[in-house]
Chain A
Amino acid sequence: MNGRAKRSPWFITAFLLIIFLVGWHVATLRPAFNPQGKTEEELLLLEFNGDIVATDDGNYMWNPEKIKGVPGPLSVLDKVVTELGEAFEKKGTNDHGIAYLVYYTVSRFAVGFLAASVVAIVLGIFLGLNRMLFQAVNPFIQILKPISPLAWMPLLLYTVKDPTMTSVLVVFMASIWPTLATTAFGVNSLKKEYLHVASILQLSWFKRLYKVILPGAAPTIVNGLRISFGSALVAVVPAEMLLGELGVGYLSWIEWNNLDISGVIFAILVVGTVGMILDSGFNKLAGLVTYQE
């Protein structure tokens, strides 16, 4: 490796970001309000409807509170600052700060994903160890796997009758199949020598599981978990939107319903940031269990 490649290309990243922000700002600039050619009555109506506001010197300007079209980066920044300033405030049942919303979403996600992973790994090991059972069950898995987790939602809502539980189960449904399929495959394709050695050593069933099967299949299982992780993240946002459960997904829907596009962009940024943090945390964990042949 030479010196040039080692340097992180952060300046290119920063350059791209600046280009993007400046472009965004210029594209959303709006000419100042021009009262020429408008009658007194029209101006009054515009003011009544909140389009313009009177300035101190007797002229009019666009109402800064009412943004038309896509808002510029400055008004999004403004929204970000206000929201982060109130991140830990609870103003009643329906208006919780962003920190709480992130907490709700992450805990919903975590519960669903962990439960699905445990179930999928246990089932996967069983299926992987028993070839005949695996082949018998495989058609079901193949049918259930491609179903969008959101397609389950009405049925879940009808049966469990609880929106919080339903959103957790949607995450569960999203994350169970990839892990199940890859675990079964990983266990099934373990090197036969490993199992032979284990039986020669007369290891107990549990020891065999912990010392041989799980470590052997770990890289494949982790791959499955990674796919599950991604699809669970994708599922949690629309599930909140549809169920009206407080969380970052619901935030973006509420802001859209209120036509507050700065709020929508803020919600998107939050979803992205949360996803990135969770994902990098997961990758660190995954790095612990993989090994080189």
Chain B
Amino acid sequence: MKQEKTTETNRSLEEDLLQEVIEKTVLSAVTQAAGPSRRQLLVGLGATALTTLISQVLPLEKMVALAADPVGKPEKKNLSVGFIPITCATPIIMAEPLGFYEKHGLNAKVKRAAGWAMVRDWAINKEVDAAHMLSPMPLAITLGAGSLPVPFYMPAVENINGQAITLHNKHKAVKTAADMKGFRFCVPFDYSMHNYLLRYYLAEGGVHPDKDVQIRVVPPPEMVANLKAGNVDGYLAPDPFNQRAVYENVGFIFKLSKEIWDRHPCCAFAISKEFATTYPNTFLALFRSIVDATHYASDSAHRKEIAKAIASTNYLNQPVTVLEQVLTGTYADGMGSIKKDPDRIDFDPYPWHSMAIWILTQMKRWGHLNGDVNYSSIAEEVYRAGECDKIAKELGHPTHEKTMTTHTIMGKTFNPQQPEAYVKSFTIHSMA
């Protein structure tokens, strides 16, 4: 135990987790073996005292070291990761063809789902081990909004920016939100940044999203087909479906989501708490692959290579030129010009707690959550900012000093310390 104290400071993350798991296992094995009469006595000692006692007999330190050798062998190597075919999932998808899972000792295969409800059900029913989700989804699932409550972790954000409001070509005259009254929009999911950003944008322009327009949920891959068929006037959707609408000559890009909130989170990597704690090494290996891949994708020099790697039928099933336009930010906007915006989409894994709090305020604002919300504790439980930074440090990427920051959304500052006041500040809302 003395040794442990001296090394505690430079202990890495998986050692902490391993230590915990091994101690717990040994502890429960000992109390089980002791039999009912002595068990009471032992339990009376308290777990810490007991661990100390056991560690004098059993070399717990060594066991941890052995189990963690070399970098914590994954308990489960063959994994399946669910995804939706959109560019937001780029790091999760490309980690398969570009070998990031393999590099971190995993044999992970990505499995394509047709919509968010499907991916959510796969993740809850353990049809997949981890999944690409929208950043509000792990919060909603943990809170039981729209499904049974199952504790989920969101270890990392995938992309920031990279969405857009796309309108049908017949609406080229539209200039502001007020011109959109009576429109029928689609968003990929109820609990999505797309829904909350679209609602925010409309409400800032004086349009009530639940009264003045229709917003319906359509799986991303079906959006262009719906726009083409004239079923909807527009959507706030993930790429490549904004660019694809331009490619098909049916729509134009009205506004990039970065013009609403620059560096907003969108999609994320999610895993059930149960999986993360049952297979801690596998979880960390996956976590590392994702953070590694996300930083790789963030480098604009790699974007063309990535576009080629994920365009095939097995992944996105899209024309390479569409993906290139999205990922490089040099794109046709559908209004007759070619625009250049290298930040159209970017990738940054750090899950700011303040992002989660903003999402929770909007869930409350639009009636997706009722009653009192314990903003910061839910954010800390689901968004694994601390662990994400530890891994970033291991891999040599920049880290962060805080987990909260202020965000500016359409010129208004959001202070994560005052979430309730922020919710109350909106005149347009759907709260009971």
Interface residues of A (CB under 8 A from B): 42, 44-45, 48-51, 65-66, 68, 91-95, 157, 161-163, 243-244, 253-254, 256-259
The answer on a CB contact under 8 Å between A93 and B314 is yes
Q: Tell me how many residue pairs across A and B have CB atoms closer than 8 Å.
A: 75
Q: Which residues of A contact B314 (CB under 8 A)?
A: 91-95
Q: Which residues of B contact A92 (CB under 8 A)?
A: 96, 109, 312, 314-315
Cross-chain pairs A/B with CB under 8 angstroms, 16 sampled: A42-B336, A45-B336, A45-B337, A48-B338, A49-B249, A50-B247, A66-B319, A92-B315, A93-B112, A161-B121, A163-B122, A163-B127, A244-B112, A254-B221, A257-B225, A259-B228
Contact A91 B225, beta carbon cutoff 8 Å = no
B179 at the A/B interface (Cβ < 8 Å)?
A: no
Report the minimal beta-carbon distance from A20 to chain B, rounded to whole angstroms. Answer: 25
Chain A residues contacting B247 (CB-CB under 8 Å) are 49-50, 66
CB neighbours (8 Å) of A157 from chain B are 121
Q: What chain A residues lie within 8 Å of B315 (beta carbons)?
A: 92, 94
Taking the closest CB of chain B, its distance from the CB of A85, in whole angstroms, is 14
Convert B87-129 into 0s and 1s, putting 1 for each residue whose CB lies closer than 8 angstroms to a CB of A. Answer: 0000000001000000000000111111100100110010100
A154 to B118, CA, bound (A): 11
Name 16 extra pairs, CB < 8 A, besides A94-B110, A161-B121, A254-B221. A42-B336, A49-B249, A49-B332, A50-B247, A50-B319, A65-B319, A92-B109, A92-B312, A94-B112, A94-B313, A94-B315, A244-B114, A253-B114, A256-B225, A258-B221, A258-B318
Interface size counted on chain B using CB atoms at 8 A: 37
| B223 → A minimal CB distance (Å) | 9
What residue of chain B has the Cβ atom nearest to residue A65's Cβ? B319
**In this assembly, does B180 line the interface, its C-beta being within 8 Å of a C-beta of chain A?**
no
Q: How far is the CB of B133 from chain A (nearest CB, A)?
A: 16
B residues apposed to A, CB below 8 Å: 80, 96, 109-115, 118, 121-122, 125, 127, 221-222, 224-225, 228, 244, 246-249, 312-315, 317-319, 321-322, 332, 336-338
Residue of A nearest to B121 (CB): A157
A68 contact set on B, CB distance < 8 A: 249
Smallest distance from the beta carbon of A86 to chain B beta carbons, Å? 10
Shortest distance between the CB of A262 and any CB in chain B (Å) = 14
Name the residue of chain B whose CB is nearest to the CB of A90: B314
Contact (Cβ within 8 A) B317 A258: yes
B113, B224, B332, most chain A CB atoms within 10 A = B332
CB distance from B113 to the nearest CB of A (A): 6
In the bound complex, do residue B332 and residue A48 qualify as a contact, i.e. CB atoms below 8 Å apart? Answer: yes
Within the complex, the shortest CB–CB distance from B275 to chain A, in Å, comes to 16
Which of B111, B127, B249, B332 contacts A94, CB < 8 Å? B111
Smallest Cβ-Cβ distance to B110: which chain A residue:
A93
Give the residues in chain A near B118, CB-CB below 8 Å. 243-244
A95 near B312 with CB under 8 A, answer yes
Q: Which residues of B contact A162 (CB under 8 A)?
A: 125, 127
